[in-house]
Amino acid sequence: MKTITNPIKKITSLVLFALLSTITFSQESTKLSDPEVASVAVVANQIDISYADIAMKRSKNKDIREFAQRMITDHNAVINQAVALVTKLNVSPKDNAVSQSLLDGAEKTKKILKNASKKDFDKIYINNEIAYHKAVIAAVKDLLIPESDNEELKGLLETVLPALEAHLGHAKMVQKKIG
């Protein structure tokens, strides 16, 4: 097996592997309950906020910082919507193997982001954002929406999809700008 030494390719591979394994694992295991779906959704948003926090501390690039701030604002808004919904439904997000797998992958990614050279950081961050949003969009479409029994939870996930797709488009635009 060939070792990936390029940090930009390494982080993209790590993110895709973690999320794709999570989707595959979940599809092969028992069905996620609505509280577990809610947990995965909240965790996925928290992870992207944590990546954006790192970018706000490390990047000097105006486009990267604007993108990161947008991720913090938008993903916090989704978390607030999810919290309001689970409060209304009187359920608590329930930790599960999928959310734990996401968190494990995120720890590896955060280490890479924190240890990236100043020269490589912006490219590594934005490439991660593209890979992460592609994987999250796939997870929402192929895992979370189909696993949701509650119509309001399913509706929230369906409402969030266009924003995730817009984030992906924005990340691709920033990637082109920074070369």
**pLDDT for 106-124, tens place per residue?**
999 999 999 999 999 999 9
Asked whether residue 28 is domain-assigned, the answer is no
Give CA torsion, residues 143, 145, 147, 152, to 10 deg.
160
Q: What is the mean pLDDT of residues 42-47?
A: 95
Asked whether residue 2 is domain-assigned, the answer is no
CA torsion sign for 51, 54, 56, 61 is negative
Asked whether residue 147 is domain-assigned, the answer is yes
Asked whether residue 25 is domain-assigned, the answer is no
Structural domains in the chain (count): 1
Asked whether residue 26 is domain-assigned, the answer is no
The DSSP secondary structure of 51-108, one letter per residue, reads HHHHHHHH---HHHHHHHHHHHHHHHHHHHHHHHHHHHHT------HHHHHHHHHHHH
- The CATH number of residue 83's host domain is 1.20.1260.10
More confident residue, 34 or 30: 34
137 within 8 A of 166, measured Cβ to Cβ? no
Please provide the average confidence, as pLDDT, over all residues in the chain: 88
At residue 7 the predicted structure's pLDDT band, cuts being 50, 70 and 90, is low
For residue 173, the one-letter residue type is M
At residue 23 the predicted structure's pLDDT band, cuts being 50, 70 and 90, is low
What does the alpha-carbon distance between residue 111 and residue 108 come to, in Å, rounded to a whole number? 5
For residue 40, the one-letter residue type is V
Give burial (CB, 10 Å; 0-12/13-18/19+) of 177.
Answer: middle
Domain of 149?
A: 7-20+33-178
- Report which DSSP code applies to 90: T
